[in-house]
Amino acid sequence: MTYPPSVSAILFWLLIVVLLGFSYPIVRGFRLRFQIRRWVKMLAGAREARSQRGLTEAGQFLGQALQVCDQLPRHWKLKAVTYSEVASLYSMQGNYREAEKFRRDELSLREKFDGPRAPETVVATSNLATLLDDAGKSSEAEPLHRQAVEILRQLPGLASVTSNSLNNYARCLHKLGRVAESADMYQQSMDMAKQAGTQDPLQTANSLNNLAVAMSDTANYAEAEALHREVLATRQKEAGPDALSISASLTNLGSVKMRQGEYCEAEELLAKAKEIRDKELPVDHPERLSALNNQAIIFSKQGRYAESAALHAEVLAGRERVLGADHPEVSASLMNLAMVQSTLGKHRDAEANLDRSLAIARRAYGEQHPHVADILNDLAVVFTRQDRLAEAAEVYRQALRIREAVQGLDHPSIAQSLGNVGTLELRLGKYSDAVASFNRAFAIAEKALRADHPEQARRLSNLAVAHLNLGHYNRAAHFVDQALRIRAVKLKPGHLEFGFNWMNLANIRTEQQLYSEAGELLEKARSVFRASVGEEHEHTAICLSNLGQLYFAQLRLPEADSCLTQSMQIHHRLSGGTSLNAVFAANRLGDVRREQSRFEEADALLNKSLQVRESKLPQEHPHLALSLHSLGRLRTRQDLPAEAEQYYRRALAIREDALPLEHPHRSKLLEDYAALLGAIGRSSESAGCMAQAVAAREKHAAQESSAV
């Protein structure tokens, strides 16, 4: 039977449609398998490239994998796995913002299709929480970690996964300042992996590393060092000498050595760590920025302040670009930069940076956190250097309360706080209280630090200043000598701390009338200050003031005038001449002007000194007695005995209340008062004052001969 051509065409196309209908599932299946194989190939290529640090190539593979996923809309599992891989790649690159987006997208898919309690969903939750930790959002991460661990502990056969999640949760707790809890959880993580027989050398090393960091934060430095060395050996064996994990171990070991006061060894370890990161990471990668930060800190410890400040500024700019302005590491950089700025005399810049650092830390951690206490402590240091003593006292108290609550009464941070309180007490003229604070700080620190730690040297040096002000000259010299011995071993020549040592010893020798030795020491100190912080710095001005006082004690008035005038000029440029250290120079220059018979100038200088001291110091402060004593001597020279007596009596009341009765400054005041009384015919009172002075000097001499 023959069909017309039109009917034949219709039948042909119907046959084609039927055949296509039967073959479409087959073709579609072939195409689907091809796309899945392509996805597997792209994913494998990305993982291989990532393992070889070929991050750009890995990104290209994953980009193609994402394109495949878009063509397979119903295959959500492939998409979830791809999102996880992309997030891991962004994390390796330090791009936490993009990584967070993909972690959240992965978790959303898992929760929708696997269910909220499925193992894959819980692992995704743990991964997101860990990413949030890296992004500086540990407060947000903590409940996610807790949720993941609670569910995993209820699921059988997941010991290895649970162990890893415990480790990540412990890391989060550590960041939140819950160090004791984190150490316990790190141990749980390792015990679980061991019991399950799933121990991987590198995973165990990671847990040990984190436990060692926690130990270091609880001041168990010897145990932390031993663990870090064990971890380093494992990583060198399993991962090779140039792996980034080696850099992490070198960094952590260097941090422990720095806390132990071994700055030279710490510098070597941190330099090796930085070398690896420089080679393996992009310039702005967070881990490389951390290496630069550590280098800046060690520069500061070694007295290289200008270099340290430049590096801290570079790190701060990098962290703000990469991590965002509110990341806790930005807070840390602001704090580190601020303290170097303050050391260099830039107190306003330091205060501004500390205020910003504190705001970030409080948002990230709340009030009860070690980092918040650290910033408050540093802010109080800056207040003290600006003569804002009442503000400093309140902020020191805040920092100490937090540290005692969070870190315990025997932590080295408590010693630091007490040492700073002692320094404030020195400024307030409470010298006996300062001695007690320094002694307590030294005893606490000695439990965790060796006696030859550079920070212990600073406490010894401050203890010497307290005893100097109490008139205990031999004891003060003993403590200065102890501090100098430590610094000679632990610090590089030319360190700023040597300048303080030599200046303090020079002041002791001046009081002991050993003028030649005092002069040599002050010249050495002046050389250090000029080299380390520059000519236009308060430390240099103070040294010039002390040199002027030495010349004045020797009645070398032209040299005293020159040094004190230079000191005043520097102070005027730095603080307008109104700082407490500036008025020391003003008081001393007023004494010189008195001996030069330039009474009007002397009166102006001495009254300015008194006014500034009265406005900034307690009424019973011994430094007020210095101004009053000098004014009494000026009025005596001006033949104004009634005014002179008033000043002497006020000065005597302060000194007898604030200083030991045998203090040489009280004896000198009694002698000057006795001379005035004798000159105006009150011989009986004069003899009484002179007898007190003689008895005080004899008692002081006996104490000095028996002192250390």
Half-sphere exposure of 386 (CA within 13 A, CB side): 18
* Segment among 49-53, 81-85, 283-287 with least mean pLDDT: 49-53
For residues 160-174, give the mean pLDDT. Answer: 91
Q: CB-based contacts of 175: which residues, under 8 Å, 6+ apart?
A: 133, 138, 328
CA distance 29 to 48: 28
For residues 223-238, give the mean pLDDT. Answer: 92
Q: Assign 202 a pLDDT band (cuts: 50, 70, 90).
A: confident
Mean pLDDT for the chain overall: 91
Instruction: State the SS3 of 313-359.
Output: HHHHHHHHHHHCCCCHHHHHHHHHHHHHHHHCCCHHHHHHHHHHHHH
Q: Cβ of 708: how many Cβ atoms within 10 Å?
A: 10
Residue 104 host element (H or E): helix 96-109
Q: Is the pLDDT of residue 297 over 50?
A: yes
Q: Token pair for residue 50?
A: 């990532």
CB 480 within 8 A of CB 708: no
Q: What is the pLDDT of residue 29?
A: 55
For residues 301-329, give the mean pLDDT. Answer: 95
Q: Token pair for residue 53?
A: 């640090």
Give this prediction's pTM: 0.88
CA angle 410, 416, 417 (to 5 degrees): 90
Q: What is the pLDDT of residue 206?
A: 87
Q: What is the pLDDT of residue 14?
A: 52
More confident residue, 479 or 54: 479
Q: What is the pLDDT of residue 287?
A: 92
Q: What is the pLDDT of residue 30?
A: 56
Which domains are delineated in the chain?
628-708 (1.25.40.10)
Q: What is the pLDDT of residue 20?
A: 41
CA distance 170 to 181: 7
Amino acid at 237: K
Q: Assign 66 a pLDDT band (cuts: 50, 70, 90).
A: confident
* Segment among 66-80, 81-95, 160-174, 374-388 with least mean pLDDT: 66-80
Q: What is the pLDDT of residue 353?
A: 97
Q: Assign 404 a pLDDT band (cuts: 50, 70, 90).
A: very high
* Segment among 19-28, 160-169, 387-396 with least mean pLDDT: 19-28
Question: Among residues of the chain, what percentage have pLDDT more than 70?
Answer: 95
CB 142 within 8 A of CB 149: no
For residues 204-215, give the mean pLDDT. Answer: 89
CA distance 69 to 75: 7
Amino acid at 339: M
Q: Assign 451 a pLDDT band (cuts: 50, 70, 90).
A: confident
* Segment among 52-56, 222-226, 353-357, 614-618 with least mean pLDDT: 52-56
For residues 477-485, give the mean pLDDT. Answer: 96
For residues 230-239, give the mean pLDDT. Answer: 91
Digit-coded pLDDT (tens) for 407-437 = 999 999 999 999 999 999 999 999 999 999 9
* Segment among 269-283, 332-346, 577-591 with least mean pLDDT: 269-283
Q: Assign 12 a pLDDT band (cuts: 50, 70, 90).
A: very low
CA distance 210 to 233: 15
Q: Assign 571 a pLDDT band (cuts: 50, 70, 90).
A: very high
The helix/strand count (H/E) of the chain reads as: 32, 0
Q: Token pair for residue 638?
A: 């001006």
For residues 249-267, give the mean pLDDT. Answer: 93
Q: What is the pLDDT of residue 24?
A: 44
Q: Cβ of 55: how many Cβ atoms within 10 Å?
A: 17
Q: What is the pLDDT of residue 669?
A: 97
Digit-coded pLDDT (tens) for 74-101 = 678 888 888 898 998 888 888 999 999 9
CB 524 within 8 A of CB 496: no
Q: Is the pLDDT of residue 33 over 90?
A: no
CA angle 143, 354, 94 (to 5 degrees): 50
Q: Is the pLDDT of residue 637 over 70?
A: yes
Q: What is the pLDDT of residue 487?
A: 95
For residues 611-623, give the mean pLDDT. Answer: 96
Q: What is the pLDDT of residue 431?
A: 97
CA distance 59 to 49: 9
Q: What is the pLDDT of residue 1?
A: 47
Q: What is the pLDDT of residue 4?
A: 56
